[in-house]
Amino acid sequence: MQEIEQIYKKYYTVVYKYLFCLTHNSDIAEELTQETFYKMIKKIDTFKGNSKLSVWLCEIAKNLWYDELRKKKYQTVSYDEIEVSDSTAYKQNVENNYINKEEFDETTKRIETLDNLSKRVLYLRLNSDMSFKEIGDILGKTETWARVTFYRAKQKIKEDCSDGK
């Protein structure tokens, strides 16, 4: 039981941040994180060690999210529903909050034009502070692939900004 507690403490933040990137909702991410560790406890004997434990946990988390989408037939969460109260940048003052929200909305619109893998890399890097190695592991790619994909996605967003899109 001590080992399970150590795994939970070590990987809770990684799983939660990964789920938040998928769901864009802190409540759903929290609930699914708890479910992920519950499922891990039930299925720990099936872990073969072919991948890192964090990758296996994120795979469980992703499958739980997909199950949730199928069960409740969620549509993609709109960016208006994202809880901006979690970000300290939005707590400065009302005027700055409005400006930041406008910039955030514009940036997220540009991000949504990217392909799914590029979006996931951006969200994992920016929202979860994951290393490129961790991102590569989670997505089944290399560290270099994650680094290049992140760079290209940033360049695409910058190009869209300079084009006035």
What tens digit of pLDDT does each residue of 76-127 get? Answer: 444 444 444 444 443 344 444 444 555 656 767 777 788 888 888 888 887 7
Neighbours of 32 (CB within 10 A): 25
pLDDT at 163: 59
With 0.75 as the threshold, say if the pTM is over it. no
pLDDT at 74: 44
pLDDT above 90: percentage of residues in the chain:
13
Identify the structural domains of the chain with CATH numbers, from first to last.
2-72 (1.10.1740.10), 94-162 (1.10.10.10)
Burial of 52 (0-12, 13-18, 19+ CB in 10 A): middle
